[in-house]
Structures are given as C-alpha cells and as structure tokens.
Structure 1
Amino acid sequence: MIAFEYVSDDAALADLVAHYQQSDILVLDTEFVRTRTYYANLGLIQAYDGKRLALIDPVSITDLSGFWQLLSNPNIVKLVHSCSEDLEVFAHYGQCQPTPLFDSQLAASVAGLGHGLGYAKLVEMCLDVSLDKGESRTDWLKRPLSDAQLQYAANDVYYLYQLYPILKQKLIEQQRLSWAEEESQRMTEGRLAEIDFDNAYLKVKNGFQLNQQQLAYLKVLSTWRLQKATHRNLALGFVVKDHGLIGLAKKQPKNMMELGKLADLTELEKRINGRDMLAVMQKADLDNLPELIDVLALQPGYKAGFKEIKARLLEICEAEQVPSELMAAKRHIHDYMNWHWNNKQGDSPLLLNGWRGKLAAPALLSLTF
C-alpha cells in the first residue's frame, strides 16, 4: 500500500503548496471525466515530490490558485506521463502550464525504449512492477472515492518519480536529454491562447469540399457551434456533428420545412437547434467570402514529394537510431512541404528547428520537389 495524504480543504492545500515550493521535482497527474462535455470535469489531482504524495480533491477545495501558481515555478521540474489532456485541464482550470516540463512518455521514445508507451508498460519495463489498471474507467467525480480508486491514483505518481532518474540517465548517456526537454516543452505551446471562434470552420472535417459561398455559411455555423459548446460545456458533436454543418452549408435551407428534409442532420439536432441554425445562416457575410481551403495533399507533385522526404528522413532515423514517429511524422512532413511550396515564407517548420533541424536540415534543404 502506498502512503498518501488526502487534501480536501484550503488550509491543507496551502500547507502542501508551501512544502512543494521547496522541491526540485514534482510529479503530476489528473483524473477527470469527459464523456459529453467540451471541457474535462476535474475529479482529482495527484502530486508527489518524493516526500509527500498528495491526492488533491478539487471538488471540495474552494481555492486552487496557490496550486496553479506552483506549476509555474521555474525552479521545479514538473514530471508527467503522456500529458496532453492534463495540460488541457491546467489551461482551463488554472490558466497555467507546468514549466519546466518533462514528459516520461516522450523521454522513453527519445531514449529508444519505444514510442507511445503507456505508463504501466513503462513501469513494468524499467521497474519490474505490474500495475493494476482496473480503475482506469471510473467516475472520479463521485464521492467518497474508494480505497481502490485512491491507490490507483497514488500509483500514477509514485512510480513515475522512480522512473525519472532512470530515464534521465539514459538520455544523458545518449546526449539526448535536451531533446526530451525540447519535446516536452513544445507540448505546452499555444495552450493558453484564447479560443479562435472565427476560424473554427477550418477544423470542420471535409470543409475543403465547399466553394467560397458555402464556406461563408460554414464559417458562421461553426462559430455558433463552438460558442454554444464552450458556453454550455458540451462536446462539439453533441451540439451538431461536422457532417450536419457541411450539409447545411451545401444546401442552405431557408425555413424549417426545408431544414426538416435534410438527411445530414439528426432529428434531435433539427428539433433542438434548427431555428437557431437558420437564424445564424442569415448572418453569413456573402460580400466577403472566405478563401477556399487549400488541401496540400491534392496538389500535383504532393505524393512524389512526400515519398522523397519520407525516405530521406527514414534514412536519418536509421542512421541516428531515432524513432521514425518522432522524426518522420506525416504532419511534420506536411508542414515542411507547405513551407517549401509557399516560397519558404512564414514560420520555419519543425523539421528545420531544434534537434530535428541539426539532423535533417542539410538533407531536406538539398531536395528539389
């Protein structure tokens, strides 16, 4: 049994934060529920500095501001595992990001232990400990939490503290510690930016199929959907699905009778949001039409160029013993090609920066495609 303290009031949290402020390393994890909501509903925060392992109850505590401030302390390394969703939680509830950051999943990948390793697998590989993941799907908002739930939560930070020196030593021996730190810190970038309501339409699946007039309708509909989702804390798909927005933009119904005939919308979507969507579509700015969505993969020469870049990167990965998932991911190649075909204007792509740039830039810049 792992010893922990359950922190459920403001005074206990203040004492804990004062203690953690003197720490060099702080392991972090969160437990939350996210089924129909836009934002995760935070149920528990786990923290451990090697001395005090705390399970912090955000349902009971009224003021978490001291804890959020702790996460920005530059003198404390924040240790996490596969933290993308945790970072969303910190951004939404604390308007903060944990810096400096060290993600053990990324570190394991950089060190050559395997890409995308789960926490339990990594613990088993490095510490020869088998963890019970039986509570991974549980209601973290329900109170009281069971002993099994609490032990499960404590495990997630207790063993991660032990993993850190092992991973760090491997990276130092390979002269790649800075790589792992670079990858970890990049995960926090842009997470505190305000929600971009105006450009929500660019994230709608298959938006590239629409002409400019149709995009004008998609733009106002997507902005309305995102505003409603954030205001009511509903997942986007539980307001209206992407398929429904595309159908509305293409067919542009003028009244409830026409809207009722749309097969792209569910009956529930029509009944709850039909009139609102018709009203929103009246606001489409048809005098200032959006630009067509340019799909890079449809351009002539894309497939050949992609294949050539991918092959060159895989050669580098093999020679340098770098996981191909880190170096040759599709999105990285796509960004490089977009930059190259845009006359090398705008921000330099990731493949030309940091440790990737040191390995790949000479080879990539010599390519013509």
Structure 2
Amino acid sequence: MIAFQYIDNQAALDALVAQYNEAELLVLDTEFVRTRTYYARLGLIQAYDGKHLALIDPLAVNDLSGFWALLTNPAITKLVHSCSEDLEVFANYGKCQPAPLFDSQIAAALCGWGHGLGYAKLVEQQLSISLDKGESRTDWLKRPLSAAQLQYAANDVYYLYQLYPALKAEVERQGRMDWVLEEGARLTAGRLDRPCGDMAYLKVKNAFQLTPKQLAILKVLAKWRLEKALSRDLALGFVIKDHGLIALCRKPPQNIGQLMRMNELTEQEKRIHGKELLEVMVTADVNNPPPAVDVLALRPGYKASFKVVKALLTAICDTHQVPEELLASKRHIHDFLQWHLDAQQGDLPLLLTGWRGALAAIPLQTLELSI
C-alpha cells in the first residue's frame, strides 16, 4: 500500500504547497471526466515530491491558486507522463502551464526505451512491477472515492518518481536533456490561448469541398458553434456535428420550414438551434469569402515530394537513433511541404527548428522538390 495524504481543505493544501515549494522535482497527474463537455472536468490532482504524496480534491478545496503557482516555479522540474490532456486541465482550471516540463513518455522515446510507451508498460519494463488497471474507468467526480480508486491514483505518481533517476541519467548520457525540455516547452505553447472563432471553419471536416459562397457561410456557422460550445461547456459535436454544418452551407435553408425538413440535422439540433442558425447564416459576407481551403495533399507532386522528404528523414532517424514518429511524422512533413509551397514565408516549420532543425535543416533545404 502506498501512503498518501488526501487534501480536502484549504489549510492542508496551503501546508502542502509550502512543502512542495522546497522541492526540486514534482511529479504531477490528474484524473478527470470527459463525456459531453468541451473541457475535461477535473476530479483529482496527484502530486509527489519524493516525500509527500498528495491526492488533492479540487471539488472540496475552493482556492487552488497556491498549487497552480507551483507549476510555473522555474526552480521545480515538473515530471509527467503523456501529458497532453493534463495540460488542457491545467490551462482551463489553473490558467497556467507547467515549466520546466519533463514528459517521461517523450524522454523514453528519445533515449531508445520505446516510442509511445504507456505508463503501465514503462513501469513494467523498467521496474518489473505490474500495475492494476481496474480503476481506469472510474467516475472521478463521484464522492467518496474508494480505497482502491485512491491507490490507483497514487500509483500514477509514485512509480513515476521511481522511474525518473534512471530515465534522467540515460537522457543526460545521450546528451538529449535539452531535447526533452524543448519538447516540454513545445507541448505547453499556446495552451492558454482562447480558440479562434474566425479560424474554426478550417477544422470542419470536408470544408475544402465547399464553394467560396458556401465557405463564407461555414465561417460564420463554425464561429457561432465554437462560441456556443465554449459558453455552455459542450463538445462541438453536441452543439451541431460537422456534417450538419456542411449540409447547411451546401443548401442553405431560406426559412424555418426548410430547415426543419433537413435530414442532416438531428431533431434536437433543429429544435434548439433552428431559428438562431438562420439568423447566423444571413450574416455571412458571401461577397468577401475567406480563402479557399487548400488541400496540399491533392496537389500534383505532393506524394512524390512527401516520399523524398520521408526517405531523407528516415535515414536521419536511423543515423541518430531517433524514433521516426518524433522526427518524420506525417504532420511534420506536411507542414514542411506547406512552408515550402508558401515560398518559405511565415514561421519556420518544426522540422527546421530546435533539435529537429539541428539534425535535419541543412539536408532538407538542399532537396529539390517538385511540388
């Protein structure tokens, strides 16, 4: 049994924060629930500095500001594992991002232990301990939490602390600590920015198929949907699904009767949003539509250029023992080709910056691409 302190009052949290402020390393994890909401709903925070393992109840403690301040203390390294969703929680609830950030999943990949390792797999591989996954589907908003659920939560930070010394030593031996911290900073970048309503239409599936006039309608609809989702804390699809927005743009209804006959919208979508949808659609500036959604992958020469870049990056990965998923992912190559097509204007693509750029920038920029 792992010993922990359950923090459910302000005095206990304040005392804990004072202790953690003296730490050099703080292991972090969160438990949350996400069903219909835009943002995950925080149910529990786990933290461990090697001396004090705490399970913090955010439903019981009203003021977490002291704890959130720990996350930006530059003297404390924050240790996490596969932290993307945790970072979303920190941004939404704490309005902050942890720094400096050491993600053990990324570190394990960069030092050759394996790419994309789950926490339980990494613990089993390095510590020969098999973790119980039986509480993974817990409703973390329900109270009280059982002893088994609390132990499950404690495990997530306790064993990660045990993993850290060997993982850190191997990363440092290979001279890649700066790489790990760079990846941590990249993961947190932009997390505090509010989603941009004017650009929301670019994330709607099949937006590229629309005409300029239809795209102008989609722009105002997608912005409206995002604002509605944020104000009501609903996942986008629980406001209106993508295919419903596309249908409205392709054949815009002129009145509520036409809208009510659309099969692409659910009865609930029609009933709740029908009138408002019509009001939003007439605000579209069809005479000044947004730029067409350029699908780079459909352009002549894209596939051939992609293969050339992929082959080069694969060779670099083999030489430097770097997982292809971190250096030669489809997204990274696509962004590089987009930058190349845009006459090398705008922000540098990821492949030309940081540790990736140190490995790949010179050979990439000597390539002759046909796109």
TM range (shorter): over 0.9
Residue 44 of structure 2 corresponds to residue 44 of structure 1: yes
- C-alpha displacement of 1:368: 0.7
Q: Which residue of 2 aligns with 1:22?
A: 22
Separation in 2 of the partners of 1:297 and 1:262? Answer: 32
Q: Which residue of 2 aligns with 1:311?
A: 311
Q: Which residue of 2 aligns with 1:282?
A: 282
Alignment partner of 1:3: what SS?
coil
Does the CA contact (< 8 Å) of 1:32 and 1:40 recur in 2?
yes
Q: Which residue of 2 aligns with 1:238?
A: 238
Separation in 1 of the partners of 2:279 and 2:57? Answer: 43
Partner AA of 1:291 in structure 2: P
List runs of 5+ in structure 2 lacking aligned partners: none
Does the CA contact (< 8 Å) of 2:123 and 2:129 recur in 1?
yes
Partner AA of 2:73 in structure 1: N
Q: Which residue of 2 aligns with 1:264?
A: 264
Q: Which residue of 2 aligns with 1:210?
A: 210
Does the CA contact (< 8 Å) of 1:207 and 1:246 recur in 2?
yes
Q: Which residue of 1 aligns with 2:346?
A: 346
- C-alpha displacement of 1:286: 2.0
Q: Which residue of 1 aligns with 2:329?
A: 329
Does the CA contact (< 8 Å) of 2:31 and 2:44 recur in 1?
yes
* CA distances 1:261-298 after superposition (whole Å, capped 9, x unpaired): 32221222112211111111111122321111111111
Percentage identity across paired residues of the two chains:
66
Alignment partner of 2:189: what SS?
coil
Alignment partner of 2:287: what SS?
coil
Does the CA contact (< 8 Å) of 2:213 and 2:287 recur in 1?
no
Partner AA of 1:100 in structure 2: P
Q: Which residue of 2 aligns with 1:12?
A: 12
Does the CA contact (< 8 Å) of 1:207 and 1:293 recur in 2?
yes
**Structure 1 residues 103-112 or 262-271, which shifts more?**
262-271
**Structure-2-length-normalised TM-score:** 0.98
Partner AA of 1:233 in structure 2: D
Separation in 2 of the partners of 1:351 and 1:314? Answer: 13
Instruction: Count how many residue pairs are aligned between Structure 1 and Structure 2.
Output: 369
Alignment partner of 1:268: what SS?
helix
Residue 121 of structure 2 corresponds to residue 100 of structure 1: no
- C-alpha displacement of 1:42: 0.5
- C-alpha displacement of 1:112: 1.2
- RMSD across aligned positions (CA): 0.9
**Structure-1-length-normalised TM-score:** 0.98
Separation in 2 of the partners of 1:335 and 1:105? Answer: 24
Separation in 2 of the partners of 1:295 and 1:106? Answer: 30
List runs of 5+ in structure 1 lacking aligned partners: none
Alignment partner of 2:198: what SS?
coil
Q: Which residue of 2 aligns with 1:273?
A: 273
Partner AA of 2:321 in structure 1: Q
Separation in 1 of the partners of 2:172 and 2:199? Answer: 42
Structure 1 ranges of 4+ moved more than 6 A: none
Separation in 1 of the partners of 2:84 and 2:112? Answer: 21
- C-alpha displacement of 1:170: 1.0
Does the CA contact (< 8 Å) of 1:102 and 1:185 recur in 2?
no
- C-alpha displacement of 1:114: 1.1
